[in-house]
Structure 1
């Protein structure tokens, strides 16, 4: 399986134009994200959730259409997004992109980031690439290693945030602000809002976990 797109229930105004993205192998709708998808004219193949936030008219569509439905009680040991994500991860596709996870409740946003940081996600890369995407950002996580990042017209800024107590030996080349073998502690803002000056940049580090965020030049 090549790609799975998951649409969660965050604010619809933070969603990109989903139809502008290359067609995935599967569309997965998560609770209110199902309504967001349908509003853009996209029908999910699979739906997850307790469906307490889905528009009543969209619930009727779920009942009438030939969707694969995973329904759960409201009280459970994982979020609706977490359940959908772990299901998608078990399929080991080349790419999982999560839409609709940011811009609303901060706990859900941070929960999505925690999914990016899970050991299984980090260990599956590069076989499976996982990203969270909204109107202005694309984020992913990386364990220690050496990586290439390509310049994209949409994303002017690239930030590197330590997600472990320390990231050791961070080196950046092809960037406006290069680094050479720098240790970055958790809480540092040193590597926010860098820019690529080459078509391809490179970053590497010896230990730790980095959150890599590519952003547009839209101010927040």
Structure 2
């Protein structure tokens, strides 16, 4: 059986209400709480199979609650080279039969630090995560992010996105976008390029994405309510 991993990172207000959306076809689910993300999971009534981090974002009493609640908890030093989320992903990358990894609270779209956001997007460039990242989604209430290696893909509309943004994370060759509101013929780029606010033609027609080298980030985006 394949294992679906749910990671809750420490950004404020993770969209944990969306978790059931991603578990319909899951055989086995493993919940990981990263620092305060473990407390978020606990507050919402989800199990925490493994909690890890330096836990500098929780109080002493909250940490005691986590110790009693979590199946396993690991506290690491705050003086380290990796972030807590990097350590969690390193662990997940070694899990056998891991088929999908859904990461909540990594983008901080409803609050959080800009440097954390940049670091978490750049996780896709780390060679140690090269086999893991294509199986990951970063999920917020208004944004879903997935990274793609070279190939041909049918990008499905997902859950009522208003826009689809296609962003090159590196130089790319042969980037093509078809069956979208705004198509792009095969084009090479020597620098990162963002094609934002594209749209699906309708809810049943996927957008075809193709490129031959480099890395591409796809974002399904909903406009924030004002």
Which TM-score bucket, shorter chain as reference?
A: 0.7 to 0.9
Matched with 1:145 is 151
How many pairs does the alignment contain? 215
Matched with 2:117 is 109
Q: Distance in 1 between matches of 2:45 and 2:70?
A: 16
Q: Deviations over 1:67-95 (max 9, x none)?
A: 21222111011011110111012115110
CA pair 18-41 structure 1, distance change in 2 beyond 3 A: farther
Deviation at 1:157, TM superposition (A): 1.1
- Partners of 2:42 and 2:69 within 8 A in 1: no
- Partners of 1:32 and 1:55 within 8 A in 2: no
The alignment's C-alpha RMSD in Å is: 2.2
CA pair 89-77 structure 1, distance change in 2 beyond 3 A: same
Q: Distance in 1 between matches of 2:40 and 2:129?
A: 26
CA pair 66-44 structure 1, distance change in 2 beyond 3 A: closer
Kindly report structure 1 stretches of 4+ aligned residues shifted beyond 6 Å: none
Matched with 2:17 is 17
- Partners of 1:117 and 1:141 within 8 A in 2: no
Matched with 2:217 is 211
CA pair 16-185 structure 1, distance change in 2 beyond 3 A: farther
Deviation at 1:64, TM superposition (A): 2.1
Matched with 2:37 is 33
Deviation at 1:32, TM superposition (A): 0.8
Deviation at 1:174, TM superposition (A): 1.3
Q: Distance in 1 between matches of 2:63 and 2:105?
A: 19
Flag structure 2 segments of 5+ consecutive residues without an equivalent.
Answer: none
